Structure formats: structure tokens, C-alpha cells
């Protein structure tokens, strides 16, 4: 999610209007932005303004994780990545979401062969972000909607060592099968979060390019 100065816009798939709040431990304690939204045609757009100190910290960090809370007693929570200015989408150089290799509505996610110099442990959390006109963008993790597990792998300059078979072939981590309901015009893309465990842990995330067919790569998988 991009922050322009102190302002950010949150697009919401909804059934009714309500309140939204934003927290981010690296930007300060408690709620760093809040606002309200009205719902029309199952969609809403909430305009939020970061506290001045939080906006200044974000400019120094370049990006950080934040938690969005919708509603009151029966609140829903989900995570977003905040960035202080528009940037071109970044992609891992390999791995990705295989669109139709297992079937026309059965994609699967392949982890990139992460390379690190010097070798280090990395914690990785995989996601598939998907979009329909009815729901907007949503997140699917390995443990359900808006929920995914962290996996720890050993990365080296030549890739993840545990993925090399005795014969020397590459056998990377995959998440399959993922089932997409037919007839809803769904778009999907793979995303990985990483924490590199050096002396000062570094958090990064990026999309994966989709394997649309044997003939080439794309950005999104599309399912009719």
C-alpha cells in the first residue's frame, strides 16, 4: 500500500460501512491512522492520514508491515505492506505461480531458489493474492484466508541447500493444489515475505511472476 506524504487509501470489499484503524509497531505504539468508510456495491474506499511522526519513520524505513482492523467487536484483521512512495513492482527472479499445469482452475505456487551471500537462515511466508470484482483483492495463505505459516530454510550463494537432491537436481518447495472456483473471472499472483537472519534481520517481500503457459511468463494468472 502506497503512502503519499501522510495520506493513504484503503480499498475494501464490504457488506456495510464501518471504521478502520491501522497499527504498525515500527511506526509507533497504538493506532497510527484511523477513519471511516461507507459501503456501496460491496466496495468502499477509506481515506486515512498517518500521524506526522509515523510518516517520518516510514520514510526512513522505506517499507514496513502494518495491520488493518475493520469493525468493532467482531473485527477483521489483515496485514498490508506500507511504502512511502510509488515504486515499480518487484519480482523474484525465479519461482512463481503455475497457472494451469495441474488443470484449468488448479494453480500451484513454487518458491524461488533464494540465493544469499554470505549463507544465512531465512524465514519465508508464502501467499497467493487473488481478485474478483465482487470481493476485491484478498489474501490466501497456507493456513487459510489472511493466514499463512512461516517456513525456515537455509539459503546459500547457490540457492536453498535443502532443495538439492542427491543427484544434484533442484526440488524446490511447492504449495499445491490450490483450487479456484470457475466462472468468477479471478486474477491471482504469488507473493513471498522474507526475513534474512543476519546480525541485523532484514525484512523484504516481492511478487512472483506467473507461468501462464509453456510459451512465456506473465504477471497474473487469469481464471474465467
Assess whether 112 and 46 both reside in one domain: no
**Does residue 72 carry a pLDDT above 70?**
no
The grid coordinates listed for 185 are: 473471472
Q: Give which of 137, 108, 77, 88 is closest to 210, Cα–Cα.
A: 108
**Does residue 58 carry a pLDDT above 60?**
yes
- The pLDDT of residue 199 is 64
For residue 42, name the pLDDT band (cuts at 50, 70, 90): confident
Q: Give which of 1, 2, 40, 34 is closest to 19, Cα–Cα.
A: 34
Assess whether 72 and 109 both reside in one domain: no
Assess whether 75 and 115 both reside in one domain: no
Assess whether 124 and 209 both reside in one domain: yes
Which residues, at least 6 apart from 108, have a Cβ–Cβ distance to it below 8 Å?
97, 98, 101, 102, 174, 175, 176, 177, 178
Task: Identify the weakest region by mean pLDDT among 122-131, 142-151, 194-203.
Answer: 194-203
Between β-strands 202-213 and 186-196, what pairing exists: parallel, antiparallel or unpaired?
A: antiparallel
Which residues, at least 6 apart from 177, have a Cβ–Cβ distance to it below 8 Å?
102, 103, 106, 107, 108
- The pLDDT of residue 99 is 92
Assess whether 44 and 153 both reside in one domain: no
**Does residue 196 carry a pLDDT above 90?**
no
Which 8-state DSSP code applies to residue 163? G
Torsion, Cα 178 183 187 190, to 10 degrees, reads 0
The grid coordinates listed for 81 are: 505492506
For residue 113, name the pLDDT band (cuts at 50, 70, 90): very high
- The pLDDT of residue 4 is 80
For residue 88, name the pLDDT band (cuts at 50, 70, 90): low
User: Chain-wide mean pLDDT for the chain?
Assistant: 87
**Does residue 31 carry a pLDDT above 90?**
yes
- The pLDDT of residue 73 is 59
**Does residue 15 carry a pLDDT above 60?**
yes
Cα(175)–Cα(223) distance, integer angstroms: 18
Cα(106)–Cα(223) distance, integer angstroms: 9
Count the domains in the chain: 2
- Cα–Cα distances in Å, from 82 out to 10, 57, 85, 212? 11, 11, 9, 29
Alpha carbon of residue 117 to chain centroid: 24
Q: Which residues, listed in sequence order, are joined to residue 100 by a DSSP beta bridge?
A: none
**Does residue 6 carry a pLDDT above 60?**
yes
Domain boundary among 63, 82, 101: 82
In a domain? residue 2? no
Q: Which tens digit of pLDDT belongs to each residue from 150-168?
A: 999 999 998 999 898 888 8
Amino acid at each position: 500500500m502506497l503512502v503519499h506524504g501522510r495520506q493513504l487509501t484503503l480499498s475494501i470489499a464490504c457488506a456495510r460501512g464501518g471504521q478502520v484503524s491501522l497499527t504498525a509497531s515500527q511506526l509507533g505504539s497504538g493506532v497510527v491512522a484511523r477513519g471511516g468508510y461507507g459501503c456501496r456495491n460491496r466496495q468502499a474506499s477509506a481515506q486515512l492520514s498517518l500521524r506526522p511522526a509515523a510518516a517520518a519513520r516510514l520514510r526512513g524505513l522505506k517499507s514496513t508491515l502494518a495491520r488493518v482492523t475493520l469493525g468493532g467487536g467482531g473485527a477483521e484483521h489483515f496485514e498490508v505492506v506500507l511504502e512511502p512512495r510509488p515504486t515499480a513492482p518487484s519480482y523474484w527472479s525465479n519461482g512463481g505461480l503455475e497457472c494451469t499445469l495441474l488443470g484449468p482452475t488448479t494453480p500451484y505456487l513454487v518458491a524461488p531458489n533464494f540465493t544469499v551471500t554470505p549463507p544465512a537462515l531465512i524465514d519465508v511466508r508464502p501467499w497467493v493474492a487473488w481478485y474478483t470484482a465482487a470481493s476485491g483483492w484478498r489474501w490466501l495463505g497456507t493456513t487459510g484466508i489472511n493466514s499463512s505459516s512461516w517456513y525456515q530454510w537455509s539459503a546459500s550463494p547457490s540457492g536453498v541447500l535443502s532443495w538439492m537432491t542427491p543427484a544434484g537436481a533442484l526440488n524446490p518447495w511447492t504449495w499445491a493444489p490450490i483450487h479456484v472456483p470457475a466462472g468468477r473471472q479471478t486474477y491471482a499472483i504469488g507473493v513471498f515475505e522474507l526475513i534474512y537472519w543476519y546480525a541485523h534481520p532484514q525484512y523484504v517481500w516481492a511478487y512472483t511472476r506467473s507461468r501462464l503457459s509453456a510459451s512465456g511468463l506473465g504477471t497474473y494468472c487469469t481464471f474465467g
